[in-house]
Amino acid sequence: MKEKLTEKTFEEALARLEQIIEELENGELNLEESLKLYEEGIALARHCNSKLDEAQGKVEMLLNVEKGVARTAPFQPEEE
Q: What CATH code is carried by the domain that includes residue 15?
A: 1.10.287
pLDDT tens digit sequence for 25-57: 999 999 999 999 999 999 999 999 999 998 888
Q: What is the pLDDT, as a whole number, of residue 78?
A: 61
What burial class does residue 13 get, using C-beta atoms within 10 Å of its C-beta: 0-12 exposed, 13-18 middle, 19+ buried?
A: buried
Query: 77 lies in a domain?
Result: no
Query: 15 lies in a domain?
Result: yes
Q: φ and ψ at 69, to 5 degrees?
A: -115, 125
Q: How many domains does the chain divide into?
A: 1
Domain of 32 in residue numbering reads as 5-62
Query: 67 lies in a domain?
Result: no
Residue of 68, 13, 77 lying closest to 42 (CA atoms): 13
- Pair 44, 5: CB distance under 8 Å: yes
Q: What is the pLDDT, as a whole number, of residue 71?
A: 64
